């Protein structure tokens, strides 16, 4: 569905934006692919690999999601928007809350209004496991963003713009990943472990990008797409990266959880399970009518269900983590996706 269409990626110079660009360039023939971000240096670096001379359909558009006027201009003639722009470092959010609100919350409002005004067909907003039952400012700002995008389907009116959300866990190979941090600290012979019991959801950059494109293809509006992904123990990841290093428990950082949650018990009442993913459906009265049509071949989650990194049925072993870490050579490595289009509602 991306052939001959205009696609815009906010935060397009980030890890996911680069991976999406690579996939779209290799697998589709878009009319135009717009990389929207605020960093001119990163745009210049991307253009050295994906220049407009070789790829005439690519555009690099400087701007900030905090600037609604700039978004209004950027979204003109756009068919699909993937909203990946965000501030996401948990400790930074605790000490700079207003900056995170400006980008993650007010920026979301600007994206919604610009999309509706310009008759964008679909918008996929990226979320995080930290938005589910949040305890930190970053998670709270993304929860607010999720609510805004779900509610936007109600007041898009005659414009028919559809908004959906993709929520997943830690991304292997993304900027800010613990992997390069552990690799660097391994040179000292000691790896700092925040908590010996800590677990996290784990997804590769390629899997995340393909899952976003799958959600873009099949979303009907107001769903939260949650992939089924494995968990890992932070101590196992440390063993995989530096088995000879001593591990030192240093305590969790401000705003961190021991375990993360992708679907809470409250959300599970409105969630549907498919082979490779869950859909969290809207519970508002205005959205109940299309709810049944989105169930497809899925089955409702059982009462009391909760999807956390601690109660997950899929776990990565030290050996599997070793293979995954070795597989990530750079931001542009390609791997086979595990997502099947047959397993989502159509």
Q: Which residues are catalytic?
A: 130
What values do phi and psi take at 82, rounded to 5? -110, 115
Rounded to whole angstroms, how far apart are CA atoms 44 and 150? Answer: 34
- Whether residue 131 contacts residue 101, with contact meaning beta carbons closer than 8 Å, is answered with no
Rounded to whole angstroms, how far apart are CA atoms 173 and 175? Answer: 7
Burial class for 112, CB neighbours closer than 10 Å (0-12, 13-18, 19+): buried
- Whether residue 126 contacts residue 16, with contact meaning beta carbons closer than 8 Å, is answered with yes
Contacts of residue 266, defined as CB under 8 A and 6 or more positions apart, other chains included, come to none
Chain centre to alpha carbon of residue 52: 27
What's the angle, vertex CA 104, arms to CA 98 and CA 110, rounded to 5?
Answer: 110
Question: Which DSSP category does 106 fall into?
Answer: I
DSSP for 16-40 reads: HHHHHHHHHHHH---SEEEEEES-H
Contacts of residue 9, defined as CB under 8 A and 6 or more positions apart, other chains included, come to 17, 20, 21, 33, 34, 35, 36, 81, 82, 84
- Whether residue 312 contacts residue 245, with contact meaning beta carbons closer than 8 Å, is answered with no
């Amino acid at each position: 569905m991306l052939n001959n269409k205009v696609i815009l990626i906010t935060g397009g110079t980030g890890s996911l934006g680069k991976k999406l660009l690579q996939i779209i360039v290799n697998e589709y023939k878009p009319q135009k692919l717009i990389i929207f971000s605020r960093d001119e240096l990163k745009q210049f670096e991307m253009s050295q690999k994906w220049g407009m001379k070789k790829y005439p359909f690519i555009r690099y558009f400087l701007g900030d999601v905090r600037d609604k006027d700039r978004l209004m201009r950027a979204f003109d003639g756009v068919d699909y928007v993937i909203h990946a722009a965000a501030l996401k470092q948990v400790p930074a959010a605790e000490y700079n809350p207003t900056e995170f609100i400006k980008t993650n919350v007010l920026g979301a409002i600007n994206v919604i209004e610009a999309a509706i005004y310009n008759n964008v067909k679909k918008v996929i907003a990226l979320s995080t496991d930290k938005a589910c039952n949040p305890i930190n400012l970053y998670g709270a700002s993304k929860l607010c963003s999720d609510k805004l995008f779900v509610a936007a389907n109600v007041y898009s009116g005659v414009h028919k713009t559809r908004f959906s959300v993709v929520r997943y866990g830690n991304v292997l190979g993304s900027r800010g990943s613990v992997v390069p941090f552990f690799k660097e600290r391994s040179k000292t012979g000691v790896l700092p472990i925040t908590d010996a019991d800590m677990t996290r959801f784990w997804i590769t950059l390629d899997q995340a990008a393909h899952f976003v494109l799958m959600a873009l293809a099949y979303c009907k509006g107001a769903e939260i797409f949650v992939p089924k992904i494995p968990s890992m123990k932070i101590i196992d990841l440390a063993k995989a990266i530096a088995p000879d290093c001593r591990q030192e428990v240093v305590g969790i950082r401000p705003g961190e959880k021991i375990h993360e949650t992708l679907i809470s018990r409250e959300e599970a009442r409105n969630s549907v399970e498919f082979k490779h993913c869950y859909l969290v459906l809207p519970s508002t009265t205005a959205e109940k009518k299309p709810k049944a049509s989105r169930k497809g071949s899925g089955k409702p989650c059982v009462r009391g269900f909760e999807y956390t990194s601690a109660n997950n049925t899929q776990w990565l072993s030290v050996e599997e983590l070793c293979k995954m870490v070795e597989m990530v050579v750079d931001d542009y490595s390609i791997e086979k996706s595990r997502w099947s289009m047959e397993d989502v509602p159509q």
